[in-house]
Chain A
Amino acid sequence: MSVQTVKRASLLKMPRPNVFLRKLFPYALIAPAMAFLIVFTVYPCINLVYLGFTDWNLVRPVKRFVGWQNYQTLFKRPDFAQALRNTAVYTVAMVVLLIVGSLLLAMWLKDNKKLNFVAQAAIFTPHIISLVSVSMVWQWLMEPKVGVLNTILRFLGLTPLQWLESSKTALMSVIIVSFWKSIGYYTLVVLSALQNIPAEIYEAAELDSASKWRTFYKITFPMISPQLFFLLIIITINSFKVFDTINIMTNGGPAGSTNVLAYYIYQYAFSYMKIGYASAAGTILLLILSVLTVLYFRVFSNRVHYQ
């Protein structure tokens, strides 16, 4: 054999597996993702807790450690209590309205008919539109003097509402807008879950002459319970994040009636430059979310039916 043939043969040989490198390889694969996650998600949380114990205002070079002072202030201030209250009301409203609403809509629109498809596309459209636009359009629709909503109310002989301009109706108005924007997405999630239920189960139920209610309660509901559980968690988390709508439509007002935790944190961090105080509020938000998530898993995990 010539030298060239030998060289070519050895080049074609399988490379000897370097065991050490092989073991390290998956870590290299996940390293970029982990780096981003740790720098931009994990570290900020830890930093948040730390900052909550300082009274930093973003410009002073020294961060002064003040212990529990921020937390003590938080629990004394009425505007924080109000933000907590509003967030709670908003979250409960969203969870109840969205889960019940998406369930009802999904069951209503689940048959394979043209009108149902059009309806599904229609209710989903707000989801892909910027919250900026959704908020501004609804602010215009809810304009008390010349807005379309009050025009319709007057036309029906009812008293027009102040919507976003009164502290009594502002939070409700924000809830309506959020509901309008997100119901479509959740309905489609439930819809897909409904469509994954094998038809044979329903046929068997019919053979056993089960009533509609029984079928729903004993078959449909348990079979879509994983998705409903997912919805519960996602809606709760998203409710604690609500900011855009409020910043654009009401700026937390009137009279703080739409001030929620996320907006409160932003206000104190950037408008009032009280980073330490805002971080303490943020830590509380994280705590509440964690507790809620753990609670959800404790209470519902056993009841969720997995196939």
Chain B
Amino acid sequence: MKLNRVAKLAPKAVDTLLKLLLILIFIFPFYWMIVTSFKTFAETIKFPPTLLPERWMWSNYVKVWNSAPFGMYLKNSIIITFSIIVLQVIVMVPAAYAFAKYNFLGKGFFFSIVLLAFMIPGNVTFISTYILMARWGLLRTLWPQIIPFGANAFGIFLLRQSFMQVPEEIIESARLDCASEFQIMFKLMLPMAKSAMLTIALFSFISHWNAYFWPLVMTDTAEVRPLPIAVAMLRNVEGALNWEIIMAGNVILVLPIVLIYLLASRKILEAFVYRGIK
């Protein structure tokens, strides 16, 4: 009798255990990053490794912050990321509106340029864009990290889908009320596409906050350097790497995003699982 019950529960228990193991595999590296950031150098190279730091060395964070102008790097990241999002909204909304609600000659052609842009990687466009930025004298500014991303192809695509769902009657009645097209776009349609906008903004924020390749190519000086480059440069020391310092820098880089994620994880998960990828 008991054996029967065990036989029934066994697969469920195994399933649960495996899922816990899966969760562990994905959470452990973060745990390890945090724990390492609080150890002393001597403790980081201890074998076997300790699961919790012997003493919580908050001084590591002070060391990282003072090792380079991290306040400026943080400011750069914030300015860059928010500028990109604002610029993208200004560029994206009219374009999506046009593709969704207007018929004009060459519409298909222009839309295919949008789709094409989706697929062309920055790893080939960077050469020409770098040359352009140099020619325009923008290399020592934050602009090379902002303007190339003005048109968010993914955003235009998603927003267009959203706008296409807005009924014509509402737009017509707004026009009859003498609303300008500008008002229609930003005061009528945009609020109706809230969930798509949230998705797009989140996507954009995360991808540009974390960007490494593009800033690496476009920045030479510390004044315009964003956080990811600064953290990566923590490895550029002679001799043994101070993993506790490196991990502290990474925690600083990761913290804003993780905070947002914890606060809104359900919403983010829903937003990222884009409904209707066809």
Residues of A whose CB lies within 8 Å of any CB of B are 14, 23, 25-30, 32-34, 36-45, 47-48, 51, 58, 108-109, 115-116, 118-134, 136-138, 140-141, 145-146, 148, 151, 180, 184-185, 188-189, 191-193, 196, 226-227, 230, 233, 237, 240-241, 243-244, 247-248, 261-262, 265-266, 269-270, 275, 278-279, 282-283, 285-286, 289, 293, 306
Contact = CB atoms under 8 A, between A and B. Distances in A.
B26 A48 contact: no
Nearest to B178: A14
A128 B47 contact: no
Contacts of B26: 122-123, 125-126, 180, 184
Contact of A240 (B32, B121, B148, B212): B121
B124 A116 contact: no
Nearest to A226: B278
B124 A282 contact: yes
Contacts, number: 250
Given A23-B104, A132-B253, A138 B29 contact: yes
Nearest to B117: A41
A125 B27 contact: yes
Interface stretch (B55-63, B150-158, B191-199): B150-158
- The 9 A-B pairs of least Cβ separation, nearest first, read A44-B128, A130-B210, A36-B151, A33-B95, A29-B98, A44-B125, A36-B150, A29-B94, A26-B102
Central interface residue in A40, A124, A285, by most chain B CB within 10 Å: A40
A221 to B, nearest CB: 16
A151 B47 contact: yes
Interface residues of B, number: 87
Contacts of A185: 272
A189 B33 contact: no
A123 B22 contact: yes
B269 A48 contact: no
Contacts of A230: 277
14 contacts: A33-B92, A51-B128, A132-B231, A136-B246, A137-B29, A140-B33, A180-B26, A180-B29, A192-B275, A240-B123, A244-B212, A248-B232, A283-B124, A285-B123
Given A37-B114, A130-B210, A132-B250, A125 B91 contact: no
Interface in B242-264: 243, 246-247, 250, 253-254, 257-258, 261
Interface of B is mostly: helix
Nearest to B29: A137
A128 B32 CA distance: 17
Given A126-B26, A128-B206, A44 B127 contact: yes
B230 to A, nearest CB: 10
Given A37-B117, A44-B125, 19 more contacts: A27-B104, A30-B94, A44-B127, A47-B128, A119-B23, A120-B269, A125-B26, A126-B29, A128-B258, A129-B254, A130-B210, A132-B231, A180-B25, A189-B273, A241-B121, A265-B127, A266-B213, A266-B217, A286-B120
A237 to B, nearest CB: 6
A282 B123 contact: yes
B152 to A, nearest CB: 9
A185 B269 CA distance: 9
B127 A48 contact: yes
Central interface residue in A30, A120, A136, A269, by most chain B CB within 10 Å: A30
Nearest to B210: A130
B18 to A, nearest CB: 9
A125 B231 CA distance: 20
B7 interface: no
Contacts of A180: 25-26, 29
A34 B121 contact: no
Interface of B: 16, 19-20, 22-23, 25-30, 32-33, 36, 44-49, 90-92, 94-95, 97-99, 102, 104, 107, 110, 113-114, 116-117, 119-129, 131-132, 147-151, 153, 156, 178, 181, 206, 209-210, 212-213, 216-217, 228, 231-232, 235, 243, 246-247, 250, 253-254, 257-258, 261, 265, 268-269, 272-275, 277-278
Contacts of A270: 217
Contact of B33 (A118, A123, A133): A133
A26 B178 CA distance: 18
A302 B97 CA distance: 31
A132 B212 contact: yes
Contacts of A137: 29-30, 32-33, 247, 250
B141 to A, nearest CB: 16
Contacts of A247: 212-213, 216
Contact of A44 (B23, B94, B124, B206): B124
B23 A40 contact: no
B262 to A, nearest CB: 10
A196 B19 CA distance: 24
